[in-house]
Each structure stands twice: as structure tokens, then as C-alpha cells.
């Protein structure tokens, strides 16, 4: 899926969209880390026990991880399968692998 206009393409990439919103002074949810160049998230999550991980490309709810106090809030949908992780402690190695899977799909 793509939009016909290059000017509208920023709505397909959350990173581009957030940077544009910041540039025009529109408030949005705070970010811990955003990158189109480096998928390594773990150093940026140090010291955070509650966060959301969402790849910037349109993944139709795949690879979205919601963490509260170090535990998965919901099961995670990845590679067409639902991973039953709700309530479990977050495995940061698995979390990084999930992000790399999403990165390699885009």
C-alpha cells in the first residue's frame, strides 16, 4: 500500500510523521526512541519498565508490544501467529529479536 503523493507519504511512516508533528508544534505521546537506521532498542529501554514497542512501518498490529512494570500487557502477534505472553515477564532478548524480525520484513 502506498499513497500517490510524496507529500502524503509521511503518514505511512510514524517516525517521519512524529518528526513533522514536532516541527509544527503538535503535541503527541512521548517517545523513548525512534530510528529509521538502527533497530537496536535495548540500550534505549534501560531504566524503563513500562513502554510500547511499535515498528514505524504499517504492520497491521504485528510486532506491537505493550509492557507495564516489566510484564507483557497483551499477547503479541508476530509472523502471522499469536504468542501467548500476556502477564509474563518481558524477555528482552526475545523483544529485540521481535524488533529485528519486523525490521527485516520492511
Q: How far is CA 62 from CA 20, 37, 54, 65, 98, in A?
A: 24, 20, 8, 9, 10
pLDDT at 3 exceeding the cut of 70? no
Predicted local distance difference test score (pLDDT) of residue 106: 63
Grid coordinates representing 32 are 523513548
pLDDT at 58 exceeding the cut of 60? no
More confident residue, 10 or 41: 41
Please state which of the ranges 1-10, 28-37, 59-68 shows the lowest mean pLDDT.
Answer: 1-10
Q: What is the mean pLDDT of residues 21-37?
A: 85
Amino acid at each position: 500500500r502506498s499513497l500517490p503523493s510524496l507529500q502524503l507519504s509521511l503518514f505511512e511512516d510514524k517516525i517521519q510523521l512524529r518528526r513533522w508533528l514536532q516541527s509544527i508544534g503538535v503535541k503527541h505521546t512521548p517517545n523513548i526512541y525512534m530510528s529509521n537506521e538502527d533497530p537496536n532498542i535495548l540500550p534505549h529501554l534501560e531504566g524503563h519498565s513500562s513502554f510500547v514497542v511499535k515498528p514505524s512501518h504499517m504492520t497491521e498490529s504485528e510486532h506491537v508490544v505493550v509492557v507495564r512494570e516489566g510484564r507483557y500487557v497483551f499477547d503479541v502477534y508476530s509472523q502471522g501467529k499469536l504468542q501467548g505472553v500476556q502477564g509474563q515477564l518481558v524477555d528482552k532478548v526475545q523483544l529485540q529479536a521481535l524488533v529485528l524480525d519486523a525490521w527485516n520484513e520492511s
